[in-house]
Amino acid sequence: MGLFAMYLIFAMIGVLAYASIMKVFFFPSNWTVEMAQFIMVGYFALGGAFTLKEGDHVRMDLLYSGFSIRTKARTDLLTSFVLIAFLVVLQIGGISSLIYSIQYGEKSFSAWAPYMWPVKVVLNVGILLTLLQAVAIFFKDWAILKGEPIE
């Protein structure tokens, strides 16, 4: 899913290029900016788990790089726990928002007025995948702390 999300940036560039061409030479489209925003939501949400898996997220290495393996594992356990708690709360809110969106046929307040549930589905899938990856990282760090690393 992360590799798929990686290529969404090209779809967004295509939509924004189309918007630019239409605005300069023809009539501007009312859907392009919002569609680019929706694609960016997919890019960001679906890429989160892949970023965690690859260890490419932002980390303050000034102190962290000097820690021992066990201290790194303790630090990662703490931050993983906070991340999991945050993602659980985010997932609960996301599911609630998705249910509301489907029940009431929520639409955007723009001139284009697309339904909001498709982007909320993508957002919830991304949150779920990131949550699962955070749990996997938590157990890997737990195993390192116990002296039984998982590879």
Give the pLDDT confidence of 22-67 residue by residue, as tens digits. 888 888 888 888 888 898 888 888 888 888 888 767 777 778 778 8
> pTM for the whole thing?
0.83
Per the model's pLDDT, the better-predicted residue between 1 and 45 turns out to be 45
Q: Which of 106, 95, 108, 1 is nearest to 44 (CA)?
A: 1
- Contact, 14 vs 32, CB < 8 A? no
Distance CA 12, CA 20 (A): 12
What mean pLDDT is predicted for residues 114-122? 93
Q: Which of 81, 119, 83, 114 is nearest to 98 (CA)?
A: 119
Q: Which amino acid is at 104?
A: Y
**What is the tens place of the pLDDT at every residue in 14-24?**
988 888 888 88
